[in-house]
Amino acid sequence: MNLELISFKLCPFVQSSVITLLHKGIEHKITFIDINDPPQWFDELSPTGQVPILRVDNDTVIFESAVINEFLNDAGGCGMMPDDPLQRALHRAWIQFCGSILGDMFNLVGAGDKEGFEDIEYDILEKLDRLEAIKSDSACFSGGELSLIDTLYSGLFMRLDLLKPARDILDASRYPRLAAWSQHLLGLDPVQNSVVPEFSKMYLGMVKMREGYISQSL
């Protein structure tokens, strides 16, 4: 099976698919595009105009990161989602929850003044409070093995870690379980290798380019 992941270097949803591919040891090719100026062939392939998309055997396109990841999990022998239907549904729900936090994060770095920044930060902290309340003491989300839910939260934690010099949103005194989870995930090889070498510079450069309130502290 020939797999090509169409990607944007700063997208956390793409990153979760890369982590899944690396963790599963699935052979693949990554093609990077500029999402702000996509090539025509990408517009023709992607029904939503968004990344990631996964091209299978050069002719079948799968879109939406959560769908791509479940396909990769199934194709790679399963193991990254619970077998129990209820637990699987809960994992899917908390994956969606992470997507909402990532949306807040995008808005946060673009907030132009202190008041706007703190309003969005409040929403993020409230969501992290909910996550802290349900997170166990296990290394990953549920147990010691990496699951699909961990792949998306890895991208969130990586971005929070890069913003830490300006704002310690994931304060370990407030979020001890989340901080431990973050530390574990960010130390894993598939997570470290899921971004391009210049990712940190690119992400912080993007934050500064948006000239939001937080950029003044970077």
Taking CA atoms, 177 is separated from 136, 180, 188, 190, 202, in Å, by: 7, 5, 17, 21, 29
* Residue bearing tokens 């409040």: 122
Omega of the bond leading into 197 within 30 degrees of 0 (cis): no
3-class DSSP assignment, residue 48: coil
What pLDDT does residue 139 have?
97
- The answer to whether the beta carbons of residues 214 and 109 sit under 8 Å apart is yes
Instruction: Report which of 48, 149, 136 is spatially closest to residue 93, judged by C-alpha positions.
Output: 149
Q: Which DSSP string corresponds to 110-128?
A: H--SHHHHHHHHHHHHHHH
Instruction: Report which of 7, 56, 27 is spatially closest to residue 17, judged by C-alpha positions.
Output: 7
- The answer to whether the beta carbons of residues 161 and 182 sit under 8 Å apart is yes
What pLDDT does residue 93 have?
98
What pLDDT does residue 179 have?
98
What would you measure as the largest C-alpha separation in the chain, in angstroms? 51
Q: Which CATH class is domain 85-217?
A: mainly alpha
What pLDDT does residue 42 have?
95
Nearest-angstrom CA–CA distance, 144 and 95: 18
- The answer to whether the beta carbons of residues 210 and 166 sit under 8 Å apart is no
Nearest-angstrom CA–CA distance, 40 and 171: 43
User: Would you state the structure tokens that stand for residue 42, as one six-digit string?
Assistant: 């990408």
What pLDDT does residue 4 have?
97
Q: Where are the domains of the chain?
A: 3-75, 85-217
Q: Which CATH class is domain 3-75?
A: alpha beta
Identity of the residue numbered 117: F
What pLDDT does residue 78 have?
83
What pLDDT does residue 77 have?
87
Query: Which residue stretches of the chain have pLDDT < 70?
Result: none
- The answer to whether the beta carbons of residues 140 and 181 sit under 8 Å apart is yes
- CB atoms under 10 Å from CB of 159, counted, come to 24
